[in-house]
Amino acid sequence: MEDRFSAILDRAERAHSLSREDIVTLLRAEGEQSQALFQKADQVREKHLDKVVHLRAIIEFSNNCIKNCLYCGLRRDNRELTRYRMTVDEIFSAAVKAGREGFKTIVLQAGEDPYYKLEVIADLIRRIKSSSDVAVTLSLGDLTKDAYQKMRLAGADRYLLKFETSEPLLFRRLRPGTNLTGRLKQLSILKKLGYQIGSGNITGLPGQSLDSVAKDILLLKKLEVEMAGIGPFIPHLQTPLGNSLPGDLYLNLKVLAVTRLLLPLTHLPATTATASVHPSGRRLALKAGANVVMPDLTPLPYRSYYDIYPGRTKTQAISSYSWWKKELEQMGRTIAGGYGHGAIHASPD
């Protein structure tokens, strides 16, 4: 068994390709084998992406959402959540402030909220790009092709749209009124429009198997994503899955590591969710193949209300550029100087 595990690990490093069965073998790693997996992923990350970490400032400007996903605290039917919408000027000011701190990417994120008209968002993107030397990533859910195109023409560089699970039946159950085929079609449209696309999955979902997680990893590879967000399931009490068992951080780290082996050039964040389930979650992820951190720069009056899952940090300190500079230096890593455009398609900084 030991020889087979080592052979799979070596093949993953060499060919960046594995069967679903071999991926499951790596995901079952324990003890010394899991440490070997993390070490190999870290080596692959350093070989292909160096020791730099990309910092991307997230501004979560609305927690209103028309969708009713079973796992999300922002779901439409959560009547206990205090809803908010930042004004366009507030969003712009937060983005400019982040750029002045040193962040080279601004991520504009919200629930699926039709309140903000397309022309308003497009103009906001233009204002941010003209006033700050930054890339702009959008995470606004499912929109029309026309909306994607107009925001791309306004200057948006990337779009983050997670598929969460590659199992069609599980997808439909967790996201009522939607289907996996539709989500994948959206990603295809975004790529054709010239966006660098990001997607990702949740590990430890109720009803999810290791085989299912392996399929998630293979789907990320098939999609050729520029960024893959991989986070553990965290049950929210104001959702139908509130009493479910949480996802395991250890499994999430193994999924991250295997993804790094198969996608050596893809940007992999040490997600906020990992920090929510363990105080050192992000640090552990950065040692298991991750090369991106996405601090929350949402203004404090609103930050605590973007309650996707419990345990999200609400402190200003670990969202600051200077805090992360010191933290990364202690790990022997440095902050990347460029925009962090996807390395897969050799996008220039």
pLDDT-derived band at 347 (thresholds 50, 70, 90) equals: very low
List the structure tokens of 45.
């990350």
Whole-number Å distance between alpha carbons of 20 and 118: 41
Measured from the Cβ of residue 276, the count of other Cβ atoms closer than 10 Å reads 21
Concatenating the DSSP letter of every residue in 230-288 gives: EEE----TTSTTTTSPPPPHHHHHHHHHHHHHH-TTSB-B--HHHHHH-TTHHHHHHTT
According to DSSP, the residues that pair with 105 across neighbouring strands are 56, 135
Comparing 1-15, 230-244, 272-286, 311-325, the range with the smallest average pLDDT is 311-325
Helix axes 249-262, 2-15, angle to 10 degrees: 50
Question: What is the pLDDT confidence band of residue 301, given thresholds at 50, 70 and 90?
Answer: confident
Comparing 277 with 12, which gets the higher pLDDT?
Answer: 12
Which residues make Cβ contacts (< 8 Å) with residue 235, sequence separation at least 6? 71, 241, 242, 243, 244, 245, 246, 309
Position 349 scores a pLDDT of 43
**Model confidence at 273, in pLDDT bands (50, 70, 90)?**
very high
Whole-number Å distance between alpha carbons of 255 and 212: 12
- Rounded to 10 degrees, what is the CA torsion of 76, 159, 24, 4? -160
Please give the pLDDT value at position 312.
76
The per-residue DSSP string of 145-195 comes to HHHHHHHHHTT--EEE---B-S-HHHHHHHSTT--HHHHHHHHHHHHHTTP
Contact present, 302 and 64 (Cβ < 8 Å): no
Average pLDDT, the chain: 95
Q: Is 109 helix (H, G, I), strand (E, B) or coil?
A: strand
pLDDT tops 80 at residue 314: no
Give the residue from 300, 329, 305 showing the smallest Cα distance to 317.
300
Residue 93: inside a domain, yes or no?
yes
Give the contacts of 256 (CB within 8 A, at least 6 positions apart). Answer: 41, 230, 268, 285, 288, 289, 290
CA distance linking residue 205 with residue 235, whole number of Å? 9
**Which residue is associated with the tokens 């103009």?**
123
Q: What is the mean pLDDT of residues 280-287?
A: 96
342 lies in some domain: no
High-pLDDT (> 90) share of the chain, %: 91
**Does an H or E element contain 87, and which?**
none
pLDDT tens-digit series, residues 35-50: 999 999 999 999 999 9
d(CA 186, CA 147): 12
Q: Is residue 241 in a domain?
A: yes
For residue 348, tell me if it sits in a domain. Answer: no
In this model, does residue 268 exceed pLDDT 50?
yes
Task: Please indicate, yes or no, if residue 349 is contained in any of the structural domains.
Answer: no
Token pair in block for residue 278: 């363990």
255 conformational bin, left if phi > 0, alpha if psi -120 to 50, beta if neither: alpha
Q: Which domain holds residue 321?
A: 2-335
CB atoms < 10 A from the CB of 14, how many? Answer: 9
What is the C-alpha separation between 267 and 259, in angstroms, rounded? 10
Tell me, what's the pLDDT at 316? 52
DSSP H or E segment with residue 218: helix 210-223
Note the pLDDT tens digit of each residue in 132-155: 999 999 999 999 999 999 999 999
pLDDT per residue as tens digits for the range 52-61: 999 999 999 9
Task: Specify the pLDDT at position 346.
Answer: 55
CATH number of the domain residue 33 falls in: 3.20.20.70
List CB contacts of 310: < 8 A, sequence separation 6 or more. Answer: 73, 234, 236, 237, 276
Kindly report the length of the chain: 349
Structural domains of the chain, count:
1
The reply to whether 125 falls in a domain is: yes
* The pLDDT of residue 318 is above 90: no
Which of 276-285, 315-324, 340-349 is predicted most confidently?
276-285
Domain-embedded: residue 148:
yes
Q: What is the pLDDT of residue 138?
A: 99
- Predicted confidence at residue 317, as pLDDT, reads 56
User: pLDDT value at position 344?
Assistant: 72
Task: Examine residue 346 and state whether it is found in any structural domain, yes or no.
Answer: no
Question: For 92-139, how does the pLDDT look when each residue is reduced to its tens digit (9 = 90+)?
Answer: 999 999 999 999 999 999 999 999 999 999 999 999 999 999 999 999
How do residues 189-238 score in pLDDT, each as one tens digit?
A: 999 999 999 999 999 999 999 999 999 999 999 999 999 999 999 999 99
